[in-house]
Amino acid sequence: MAKARKNEATKTASRVDNGMHKGKPTTVIKIDPWNPPYPMHGDGRCTPEEFVRRRTSFLITSRATNTIIPDRTPPEANSQFYFYHGVYPRLLPILEKDSVRRFLRLFAECRDDCMTYGSIIIPEAFNHMVVEDALRCAKVAMEGKAPELEGHCANPNYMNQYGYFPLHEAAERFSIGMIRLLLRHGASTNLRTAGALGTTEALLPLHVAVEDTCLHKYLEDNLLLPKEDSNYPAPTDVDVYRIIHLLCLPEMKIFLDMTRLLAAHTDNLVDEICNYINDGKLL
């Protein structure tokens, strides 16, 4: 099971040919998603300058669409984002207002210093767009079409320094709008956390959604029904009626909608449910 999970999380980091070549099994070709193979210059059909431009464009596209595990951003780049020229304190109020115009202006000013690495927007910057539920800014960042971005994109499948992906962050904050946006731009619901810096290992976005829902203060406040009320059933039936009671409440809609949305895009859903039962967790 652990091996299968690892293969699932890193499936875009390698190309596997399971066919036969001249009666012999073909070998597995490992591909680094950060530095994928690209056509080499030397055929004389373009100038060195044009080749560099094409290579840069190729790498930007690849790094913005491949699954990047682990985080390739060096620690000094993240430090610069938080401390160099005070970018993070300036970015936060922009994301709270979800102002695309102000975001692009700040990005153009700080792009080459601390907002990008390896020609794409660093995960730490994009992570804060997800945390602040800045849907418009996140959309512009993933599309990468604004002139101020100069082709730089945010990758929805790029692990951050804490071992999470954007979809896990959106699920943790019950942001259905952000989840839908990430899915439209290719975010995978089948990538698992890596346990970096104390996070729990091998969690799917669906796991985060379910477990955080169970820990939400709203459920804590409403799970226990008043025992002194004689209209409630005998203790042997209380658990069933608690579930019915909660599922019928309007406030549960956001939790249920989010769980259904993630479950609809999650592979091997039955296996995940069985794992939850085997682990003695609440469904």
- Owning domain of residue 245: 210-278
CA–CA separation, 28 vs 8, rounded Å?
A: 15
- Asked if 198 and 221 sit in the same domain, the reply is no
| Tens of pLDDT, residues 162-171 | 899 999 999 9
**End-of-domain residue from the set 203, 220, 251:** 203
In a domain, 11, yes or no: yes
In a domain, 224, yes or no: yes
User: What pLDDT, on the 0 to 100 scale, is given for residue 200?
Assistant: 58
Task: Give me the number of domains the chain comprises.
Answer: 2
In a domain, 283, yes or no: no
User: What pLDDT, on the 0 to 100 scale, is given for residue 13?
Assistant: 43
pLDDT band at 244 (very low <50, low <70, confident <90, very high): confident
* Alpha carbon distances (Å) from 236 to 137, 169, 221, 241: 51, 38, 21, 10
CA–CA separation, 6 vs 32, rounded Å?
A: 16
CB 208, CB 167: distance < 8 Å: no
- Asked if 152 and 186 sit in the same domain, the reply is yes
pTM of the model: 0.78
CA–CA separation, 44 vs 79, rounded Å?
A: 42
The rounded percent of the chain whose pLDDT value lies above 90 is 42
Domain CATH for 167: 1.25.40.20
